[in-house]
Amino acid sequence: MNFNIERIRADFPILSREIYKRPLIYFDNAASTQKPRQVIDAIRQYYEHDNCNIHRGVHYLSVKATEAYEEARREIMQFIHARNTCEIIFTKGATESLNLVASSFGKRYVRSGDEVITTIMEHHSNFVPWQQMCIERGATLRVLGINESGEIDPGELKGLLNEKTRLIAMTHVSNVLGTINPVKDIIAMAHQHDIPVLIDGAQGVSHLPVDVQDLDCDFYCFSGHKMYAPMGTGVLYGKEKYLEEMPPYQLGGEMIKDVFLDHTTFNELPFKFEAGTPNVEGVMGLHAAILYLKELGMDNIAAYEDQLLKYATEKLSGISGIKFYGTSSHKASLISFLIGDIHPYDAGMIIDKLGIAVRTGHHCAMPLMDSLKIPGTVRASFAFYNTMDEVDHLVTAICKVKEMLS
């Protein structure tokens, strides 16, 4: 595998800074990744040369900015292998993408007595919108459980499907357990019953090659900031047949076609779902991030991160008293754990003082924490710029935590 880690790390300026006089070790990538110089430069380039509002001007800068924005849409379409640019909606993140579908799909397709299926391992952003939509529409939210390894059982899911099921909404990769769900099989099973499937790809798209046509998912949502792009950017992929039928989510700006005193007509896809002035500079950064990922190759990224995960799992397993949450054989590169009965916040504070950023707490997955009967975990989540040497430092830090708090 052609993966020059030193060259890659040199692309990320923040990785050379120090925290508490120690080199930063950044293991909080599931919360947000760091940004390469190429992304930072794309934003600066946009503001220094091309800044203008898009879609509404005939002058040079407006046309140039619009072309660049639409070029980014084409790049994203190719990156996830969508059929058409009209299926790519820019949002401000996975949360907005998920709220958009819950609100708009709910209004169009969900009636009193209907059912929506989700799983216990969802991030709140892919749980609460469905819960609230079901409450508003008099529908029922069915929640699929997990086994001891942190995996769902497709057989159990099959048992939940019935003629009242309107949608399955599940994560591609769990942000707590790391489990990669068998989404392709689940989508095939759901489609046998004509049930559409939404995949929350917030933790998927930065770690795995994603092909929405191959998966045949009906919706796929993700955030830019978890894939080396700026905050405040995100994507909703949706099949045209659903997006066409769904009502607009927000009103105003580019989503308008004509306004009369008593009614309004709406723009075509994808603009129908893009109200107001969008985050153009963020999309320029997102475009640069995708070019960067393409250059590295998603297969190479997945293979390198898998090596990191295996190495870290083996090393951390050697620490007595450590308990892992999420032990599926099909995992993305993150590890959630507890050390004996040490509270995750206490562990996180000490690990931080050693220059290592890990995340502690419920990771916005309270229903999962309740089902596991724990207050939270310590989570180390890896990116392709992390190294085995950094993992060794984490092991030393955990031993220090034990020494101080056991």
Give me the residues that bind ligand PLP (CB under 6 A), please. 93-95, 123, 125-126, 171, 175, 200, 202-203, 223, 225
Q: Closest separation between CB of residue 386 and ligand PLP, Å?
A: 18
C-beta of 169 vs 189, nearer to ligand PLP: 169
Total number of residues shown for the chain? 406
C-beta of 65 vs 100, nearer to ligand PLP: 100
The full DSSP string for 310-326 is HHHHHHHHTSTTEEEE-
Helix (H) / strand (E) containing 130: helix 128-137
Q: Closest separation between CB of residue 171 and ligand PLP, Å?
A: 5
Estimate to the nearest angstrom the gap between the alpha carbon of 306 and the chain centroid: 18
- Residues paired with residue 324 on neighbouring β-strands, in sequence order: 337
- Measured between alpha carbons, how far is 74 from 272 in angstroms, rounded to an integer? 17
C-beta of 203 vs 267, nearer to ligand PLP: 203
Q: Closest separation between CB of residue 92 and ligand PLP, Å?
A: 8
C-beta of 174 vs 386, nearer to ligand PLP: 174
At 121, is the secondary structure helix, strand, or coil?
coil
Single-letter residue type at 121: M
C-beta of 123 vs 272, nearer to ligand PLP: 123
Among 289, 126, 111, which Cα is nearest to 220's?
Answer: 126
Cα dihedral sign for 137, 156, 335, 290? negative
- Measured between alpha carbons, how far is 74 from 69 in angstroms, rounded to an integer? 9
Q: What is the dihedral of CA 99, 104, 105, 111, to 10 degrees?
A: 110
Q: Closest separation between CB of residue 68 and ligand PLP, Å?
A: 23
- Measured between alpha carbons, how far is 155 from 79 in angstroms, rounded to an integer? 32
Q: Closest separation between CB of residue 216 and ligand PLP, Å?
A: 20
